[in-house]
């Protein structure tokens, strides 16, 4: 395979696929590198996506497949590889993968974000034995059992609603007295009879014996602690960018997001950041796809100057 490109897109979530679509249409010699051939990024773990224009209620996995099929039809080149480093060399960028080395005039970082860890005792110990970061992936293991979800954003509330359909009882533990999640999700959650919310409460420890048996929480107002018996603890307290590869290539902010505006231009010439990995106000599928288009538009201008 030709290993020198106009554009190397790293990551095949909505941002990377959006970039691949626009690169193909622009006639660029581009390739999209993905760790495995299941495209879609975070959305493949989402049961239903209801806020993408024209595809109401589509399943997350189906959405990833639909996006990929469109991009493949446009002639995009997919490479299955895991990139371990990106370095600049003689005005080009060299990406080292497990299966090959790729040289490109431009790079689009589109590796997205992953669930944050809480860092409480027992959390890492019980990952895969009751602690999970993905309700749609692991929820079925807790059918008819009691579970706890930690967090108050869209993901936590979506997870709690999904689990309420499978589990005996779900407790949502949130550190404040109001949820951050959208009002429609809040209404859907609070109408469930088998959901309880522990307000103003923080998780202190995951308790278990070989596998999870309870979550210890502390009420911030009263200082009281208690253990909620549960087989599963689902942690949904935000996201961290997957930006390790970009360190030393372009500037990141203090939380690890690549600093880039709506044009997706980073501090390094020829390097673009698209989707959840960049500094931005709204991290959604619809804005990630748009970023892919903007990154290619910016890169085309840069390539013409070479
Ligand atoms: P998020 O909106 O940042 O919410 C994180 C939640 O975790 C917040 O409620 C936060 O509490 C809580 N939290 C953070 N650190 C914590 C800690 N150390 N201990 C306890 N609680 C902690 O993150 P997200 O829910 O993962 O969503 C990520 C992005 O994806 C958001 O922009 C979201 O809107 C978007 N999203 C959208 C949809 C949709 O539109 N259907 C679905 C999923 C995700 P506080 O509220 O007190 O800060």
Contact between 233 and 148 (Cβ < 8 Å) = yes
Q: Is 138 annotated as catalytic? A: yes
**What is residue 46's predicted lDDT score, i.e. its pLDDT?**
78
**What is residue 47's predicted lDDT score, i.e. its pLDDT?**
77
CATH 3.50.50.60 intervals, the chain: 4-114+239-304, 117-235
Model pLDDT for residues 195-226, shown as the tens digit of each residue: 999 999 999 999 999 999 999 999 999 999 99
Q: What is the mean pLDDT of residues 216-239?
A: 97
Question: Does the Cβ of 153 fall within 6 Å of ligand 1?
Answer: yes
Question: Does the Cβ of 236 fall within 6 Å of ligand 1?
Answer: yes
Q: How many CB atoms lie within 10 A of CB 98?
A: 10
**What is residue 1's predicted lDDT score, i.e. its pLDDT?**
54
Q: Token digits for 109?
A: 């970082």
Catalytic residue, chosen from 50, 137, 251, 263, is 137
pLDDT of 2 > 70? The answer is: no
The residues, ordered by sequence, that sit 6+ positions from 189 with a Cβ below 8 Å of its Cβ are 157, 160, 161, 164, 172, 179, 181, 195
Domain covering 117-235, topology: FAD/NAD(P)-binding domain (3.50.50)
Question: Does the Cβ of 10 fall within 6 Å of ligand 1?
Answer: no
Question: Does the Cβ of 117 fall within 6 Å of ligand 1?
Answer: no
CA of 115 to the centre of ligand 1 (A): 10
Q: Is 137 annotated as catalytic? A: yes
CA of 200 to the centre of ligand 1 (A): 15
Model pLDDT for residues 32-63, shown as the tens digit of each residue: 999 988 888 988 887 788 889 999 999 999 99
- Select the more confidently predicted residue: 136 or 289: 289
Beta-sheet pairing, 101-109 with 271-273? parallel
Contact between 267 and 250 (Cβ < 8 Å) = yes
pTM here is 0.84
* CA neighbours closer than 13 Å in the CB half-sphere of residue 102: 29
Residue linked to tokens 């208690």 = 226
- Counting residues of the chain whose pLDDT is more than 90, the rounded percentage is 92
Question: 4-114+239-304: what CATH class?
Answer: alpha beta
């Amino acid at each position: 395979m030709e290993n020198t490109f106009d554009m190397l897109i790293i990551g095949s979530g909505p941002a990377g696929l959006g970039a691949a679509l626009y690169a193909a249409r622009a006639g660029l010699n581009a390739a999209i590198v993905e760790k495995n051939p299941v495209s879609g990024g975070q959305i493949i773990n989402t049961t239903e996506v209801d806020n993408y224009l024209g595809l109401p209620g589509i399943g997350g996995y189906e959405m990833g497949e639909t996006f990929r099929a469109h991009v493949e039809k446009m002639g995009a080149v997919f490479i299955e590889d895991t990139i371990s480093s990106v370095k600049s060399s003689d005005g080009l960028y060299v990406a080292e993968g497990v299966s090959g080395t790729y040289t490109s005039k431009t790079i689009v970082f589109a590796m997205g974000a992953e669930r944050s860890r809480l860092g409480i005792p027992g959390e890492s110990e019980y990952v895969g034995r009751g602690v999970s970061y993905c309700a749609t992936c692991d929820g079925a293991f807790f059918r008819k059992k009691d579970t706890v979800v930690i967090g108050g954003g869209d993901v936590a509330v979506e997870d709690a609603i999904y689990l309420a359909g499978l589990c005996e009882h779900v407790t949502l533990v949130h550190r404040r007295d109001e949820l951050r999640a959208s009002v429609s999700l809040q209404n859907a959650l609070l109408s469930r009879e088998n959901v309880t919310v522990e307000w103003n409460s923080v998780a202190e420890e995951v308790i278990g014996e070989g596998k999870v048996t309870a979550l210890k929480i502390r009420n911030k107002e009263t200082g009281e602690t208690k253990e909620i018996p549960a087989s599963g603890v689902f942690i949904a307290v935000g996201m961290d960018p997957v930006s390790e590869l970009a360190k030393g290539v372009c500037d990141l902010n203090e939380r690890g997001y690549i600093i880039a505006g709506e044009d997706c231009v980073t501090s390094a010439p020829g390097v673009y950041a698209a989707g959840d990995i960049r500094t931005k106000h709204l991290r959604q599928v619809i804005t990630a796809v748009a970023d892919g288009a903007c990154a290619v538009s910016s890169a085309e201008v840069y390539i013409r100057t070479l």
